[in-house]
Amino acid sequence: MGFRLNSSQTNERKQEVTRHYFFETFNFFEKIKTNEPEKSKFVCFDPYGETLKVKSLLDLQTAFYENISQLK
C-alpha cells in the first residue's frame, strides 16, 4: 500500500518543489524548499475535500490510516 506521485512542479525562482500524491481518496501536497528540505510542508485533503492539518510525517501517517479505515 503506498502513494502514487500524480504531479510535480518546480519553481526555480522561489526554489520550491511541489508534489501531489494520492491513494484512493486521500490526497496530499508536499512543498519543499530546495535549500531547506527539513522544512517541508504538507497539505492533506479527506474524501470530502476538507483540509487536514499536518505538521509532521507522523501526522500525515495518522491522517492516511484514518482515511483508509473509513473506506472499509
Q: What is the pLDDT of residue 19?
A: 93
Q: Which pLDDT score, from 0 to 100, does residue 28 have?
A: 87
The number of folded domains in the chain is 1
C-alpha cell at 70: 473509513
- The pLDDT of residue 14 is 93
pLDDT at 72: 58
The pLDDT, as a whole number, for residue 43 is: 87
- Name 66's Cβ contacts closer than 8 Å, sequence gap at least 6: none
Q: What is the pTM of this model?
A: 0.73
Q: Measuring CA to CA, which residue among 58, 56, 2, 69 is closest to residue 30? A: 56
Q: Which mean pLDDT values do the consecutive 10-residue runs of the chain (72 residues) have?
A: 84 94 84 88 83 80 77 61
Residue 27 lies in domain: 4-71
